[in-house]
Structure 1
Amino acid sequence: MNRIRTKVLSIAGFDPSAGAGVLADIKTFETHKVYGLGVVSSLTVQNEKEFLSNQWIPIDHIIQQINVLLKEYKVEFVKIGLIESYDVLLNLTEVLKGHNPKIKIVWDPVIKASAGFTFHEDQSQEKISEVCSALYMITPNWQEIQFLVPGKDPMDAGKYLSGFCNVYLKGGHNSKDEARDYLFSTDGKVYPFKPKTIVPNPKHGSGCVLSSAITANLSKGYPLQKASLRAKDYVTKFLASNQTLLGNHKG
């Protein structure tokens, strides 16, 4: 029996290698058997090893992409990746909630490309608090959370930001406890996630894949802790899929 799939939206950058950004999100959604809709926030010139440039899509063009989709489809979960600024992100959350006040937004705060290109310099604590208050969840890695909350230990920063939204702290850059992730929920609880195996093969776009896997699982009705654990297991398989920088998506 054919079943109509849940619609999930990604707003992210276009990576021609399809390892990261909106194309990686759509692959992840498809593997999770949800229907992925895509809105492009930037055009990058890159492959899995080299990043040359980035061109931001004007916000009115991003909004037009969102509007034409959400007037047609019911979307309850959105994953946002590479975005130009906190102000643009806040504007987009308002647009999304104008279509559906109960919509849940997961933001993967891409600060720096794996090839070394830096996208953001703004570290306004007032602005990041305002941003997080408009979101359901953020999924920073060890380095990104230190950018968002300078001067704090990553664990302390996770606890602090969970006062505004749920926080999934990715542990790939955690030298003390490799690959251990932490979920900080808004009810004050902390859940550690240890991978079933340590995979020595890094992958371009693994952070994008994790956040889109969480979003896909949430859209299928899994509670936050279960959705996060399933996403962690999915990314572990993604990392182990081959020895190159471009992973394979497997259901």
Structure 2
Amino acid sequence: MPRVLSIAGTDPTGGAGIQADLKAISANGGYGMAVVTSLVAQNTRGVRSIHLPPASFLREQLDAVSDDVTIDAVKIGMLANEEVIIEVAAWLRRIRPPIVVLDPVMVATSGDRLLDERAEAAVRELLAEVDIVTPNLPELAVLAECPVAVTWPEAISQARVVSARHGVIVLAKGGHLGGAESPDALVDDAGRLSGGRHLVEFAQERVATTNTHGTGCSLSSALATRQARLGDWVAALAVAKEWLTDSLRHSDELDIGQGNGPVHHFATLWRAAEASAGAATATGTRMPHRRR
């Protein structure tokens, strides 16, 4: 079972941030751990305020985990400011986890930039310490220092720029483009994808739901977990996407919040458990009786 560490902010409603990361890691067969970068007062309708603990306490959290537990993969989410980014980068250089996935939280749903210019520059420098970055289209534009892509070919082009410039694999995501399709693509200028490929595209029909809160957090955490299990980015993303699509399709079964609700992280597992219980009931299977 991969031991996967999430370094991110919180979400009290459980749909995004560290809470979503831990659910996604567990649902994909990993043991989840968490280091908190920021305490976020948010719900399904938006963010109200953010509290940043001292960077020294962040360092203590990171060291407490890595001094004791072997870490198989790291997922990084909200980092908030330059000081936090520098602290995480220094820890990565010291510990050298075998897998590092960065989901760069840089642009709010409203389109507002969440980081100042110095922090954005620090995120670009952080790319040297990670294996793969998973931005949405506005965040990809910030990393590429370009206007936001409005077509899928533009998104692929920007991903190629980021991969070539920073030596990192890029997961380009087309969810912000709208329309019936929601494509994704792995882009690697160095050709490190399976078969020596530089580009692998994944076609995907858009799931008709407004319950998309925390999808970026969840996908990146699932990807980190699956990569630790499979050792192949293409295969890992294929399985992670299949899981996320199922979680989106069943998200309406939840009744969480009045805004954009979360995905149903455990839909697949719960259905399997119910099917198993139903089969046991149908065949008259009983649990073993334990002698007193």
Scaled by the length of structure 1, what TM-score is found?
Answer: 0.89
1:80-229 superposed matches below 5 A: 80-86=76-82, 88-99=84-95, 101-114=96-109, 118-122=113-117, 127-151=122-146, 153-163=154-164, 164-175=167-178, 178-188=181-191, 189-195=198-204, 197-202=205-210, 203-229=212-238
Cα–Cα, structure 1 residues 16 and 118, in superposed 2: closer, same or farther, change >3 Å?
farther
Residues 193 and 232, structure 1, Cα contact 8 Å, conserved in 2? no
- Distance, in Å, in 1 between the alignment partners of 2:161 and 2:128 is 12
Cα–Cα, structure 1 residues 128 and 47, in superposed 2: closer, same or farther, change >3 Å?
closer
Displacement of 1:225 in angstroms is: 0.8
Which residue pairs with 1:39 in the alignment?
A: 35
Residues 86 and 131, structure 1, Cα contact 8 Å, conserved in 2? no
- 2:20 paired residue among 17, 24, 28: 24
Aligned residue type for 1:77? A
Decide which structure has the larger Cα Rg and report it. 2
Displacement of 1:53 in angstroms is: 0.9
How many pairs does the alignment contain? 245
Moved over 4 A (4+): 115-118, 123-129
SS at match of 1:27: helix
- Distance, in Å, in 2 between the alignment partners of 1:194 and 1:237 is 15
- 1:50 paired residue among 46, 51, 55: 46
Name the % identity: 28
Residues 156 and 187, structure 2, Cα contact 8 Å, conserved in 1? no
Residues 172 and 179, structure 1, Cα contact 8 Å, conserved in 2? yes
Scaled by the length of structure 2, what TM-score is found?
Answer: 0.77
Aligned residue type for 1:190? L
Displacement of 1:123 in angstroms is: 7.1
- Structure number with higher helix proportion: 2
Aligned residue type for 1:52? R
RMSD: 2.2
Displacement of 1:129 in angstroms is: 4.2
Which residue pairs with 1:230 in the alignment?
A: 239
Deviation track 1:65-103 (CA, whole Å, cap 9, x = no partner) reads 11111111100310000002355324313213313x353
Displacement of 1:118 in angstroms is: 4.2
Q: Are 2:10 and 1:14 aligned?
A: yes
Residues 124 and 143, structure 2, Cα contact 8 Å, conserved in 1? no
- Runs of 5+ consecutive residues of structure 1 not aligned to the other structure: none
- Runs of 5+ consecutive residues of structure 2 not aligned to the other structure: 148-153, 192-197, 256-260, 270-292
